[in-house]
């Protein structure tokens, strides 16, 4: 049976078009990385067909969009996944692979993947939550080999590696596991902080996806941490704060501004980002926010790559193949406004005191949150 030095928690089409594809590309270039065993952590019956299809077959990734102003429409293939297992049905084999084969683990279980039942602890049975499953697997590795391992979480949580580490150590303590294990979690497990970015717009059944050309896996460097592969889309960074600010205050904030117009103007229910930006006055309105209220903050903060990132964001917004509906973006609108506009306002207060941001201030204060 094929040995898999990478174990992945999460079966999402996002990972198929992101980390799995990057590792596949690296293997094709001759890099000694992978292959991958994928583990379904949720137990959802709806994913059974997808799980069964992780059998070594090439997985099609249709890449469509704008790249440097040119329309792209090509098919790439992920060939790095050789096995799919269910944590619920295949726990002994999941544990064996994690303990005996894995050199690194990848996860993308969505933001709710870190949620746990109140008071959950580690016992004899398979735990319910992903952090508890991971802690149980790490405990087995500690006892049987004690070999180091690197964890690369992909959940969209700031400092996701640090957060996951804290959860696992807290679980170990609450479960009464030995202090030596908690020390091992700190000294022998490398918890990477990462940021993932790619719009994956549609699934291909049973496996595969449609994705935009842009892709990024930013990984914060630390002593002893080796990148999962060398790839143009895998970017080692000394700190993630700049990358996070670019994404949050340009891409995500732009989405929130457009969602505000969609809500306030009661625009068509199925309208997409591309369609609303085809309206000349709305495009000019968003450009004005970027030029007058966003980019000056980045300039004052010394983040020189902001104008180029803004250019790539507009290409992504105008992707002729992507139907990114504003009703989907408008979910949790008040919370998004606080995190995105409020966060930029805090940065402005530090880097550019006195800068006026009248349009963003009006959006933040509007109180609009749902479709009327």
Q: In 3-state terms, what secondary structure has residue 10?
A: coil
- Each residue's pLDDT tens digit, 147-192: 999 999 999 888 999 999 999 999 999 999 999 999 999 999 999 9
Indicate if the pLDDT at residue 1 is higher than 80: no
3-class DSSP state of 44 = coil
| Per-chain mean pLDDT for the chain | 95
31-80 pLDDT, tens digit per residue, is 999 999 999 998 776 677 899 999 999 999 999 999 888 999 999 999 99
Q: What is the pLDDT of residue 69?
A: 87
HEC string for 63-129: EEEEECCEEEEEEEEECCEEEEEECCCCHHHHHHHHHHCCCEEEECCCHHHHCCCCCCCCCCCCCCC
The hierarchical CATH code for the domain 6-237 is 3.40.50.720
| 153 touches 110 (CB < 8 A) | no
Sign of the CA dihedral running 99, 103, 108, 114: positive
The answer, yes or no, to whether residue 206 has pLDDT greater than 90, is: yes
Token look-up 């903060």 returns: 301
Domain residue limits, the chain: 6-237, 241-365
Segment 194-221 mean pLDDT? 94
pTM over 0.75: yes
**Would you state the pLDDT for residue 48?**
74
Q: pLDDT at position 111, please?
A: 62
Tell me how far the alpha carbon of residue 63 is from its chain's centroid: 18
Has residue 351 got a pLDDT over 70? yes
C-alpha distances (whole Å) from 306 to each of 234, 248, 357 are: 19, 12, 17
Architecture of domain 241-365: Orthogonal Bundle (1.10)
Whether 276 has a pLDDT exceeding 90, the answer reads yes
pLDDT of residue 46: 67
Q: pLDDT digit string (tens) for 119-153?
A: 999 999 999 999 999 999 999 999 999 999 999 99
| Phi (first) and psi of residue 127, to 5 degrees | -65, 165
Residues β-bridged to residue 190 = 150
How far apart CA 30 and CA 166 sit, in angstroms, is 36
Q: Is 195 helix (H, G, I), strand (E, B) or coil?
A: strand
> How confident is the model at residue 372, as a pLDDT?
64
Edge-to-edge order in the sheet of strand 209-211: 70-78, 59-67, 209-211, 200-203
């Amino acid at each position: 049976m094929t040995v898999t030095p990478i174990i992945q928690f999460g079966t999402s089409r996002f990972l198929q078009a992101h980390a799995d594809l990057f590792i596949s590309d690296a293997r094709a270039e001759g890099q000694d990385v992978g292959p991958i065993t994928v583990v379904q952590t949720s137990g959802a019956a709806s994913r059974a067909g997808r799980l069964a299809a992780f059998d070594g077959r090439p997985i099609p990734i249709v890449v469509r969009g704008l790249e440097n102003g040119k329309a792209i429409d090509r098919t790439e293939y992920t060939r790095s996944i050789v096995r799919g297992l269910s944590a619920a049905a295949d726990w002994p084999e999941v544990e064996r692979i994690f303990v005996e084969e894995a050199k690194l683990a990848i996860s993308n279980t969505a933001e709710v993947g870190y949620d746990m039942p109140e008071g959950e602890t580690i016992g004899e049975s398979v735990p319910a939550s992903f952090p508890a499953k991971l802690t149980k697997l790490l405990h087995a590795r500690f006892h049987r080999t004690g070999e180091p391992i690197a964890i690369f979480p992909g959940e969209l949580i700031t400092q996701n590696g640090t957060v996951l580490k804290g959860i696992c150590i807290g679980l170990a303590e609450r479960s009464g596991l030995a202090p030596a294990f908690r020390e091992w979690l700190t000294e022998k497990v490398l918890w990477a902080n990462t940021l993932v970015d790619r719009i994956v717009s549609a699934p291909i059944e049973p496996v595969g996806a449609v994705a935009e050309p842009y892709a990024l896996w930013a990984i914060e460097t630390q002593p002893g941490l080796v990148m999962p592969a060398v790839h143009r889309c895998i970017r080692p960074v000394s700190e993630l704060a700049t990358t996070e600010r670019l994404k949050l205050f340009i891409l995500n904030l732009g989405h929130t501004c457009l969602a505000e117009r969609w809500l306030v103007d009661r625009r068509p229910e199925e309208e997409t980002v591309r369609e609303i930006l085809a309206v000349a006055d709305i495009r000019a309105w968003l450009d004005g926010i970027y030029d007058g209220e966003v980019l000056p903050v980045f300039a004052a903060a010394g983040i020189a790559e902001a104008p180029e990132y803004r250019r790539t964001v507009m290409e992504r917004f105008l992707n002729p193949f992507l139907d990114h509906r504003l009703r989907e973006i408008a979910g949790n609108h008040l919370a998004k406004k606080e995190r995105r506009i409020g966060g930029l306002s805090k940065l402005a207060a530090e880097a550019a005191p006195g800068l006026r941001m009248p349009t963003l201030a009006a959006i933040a204060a509007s109180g609009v949150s749902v479709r009327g």
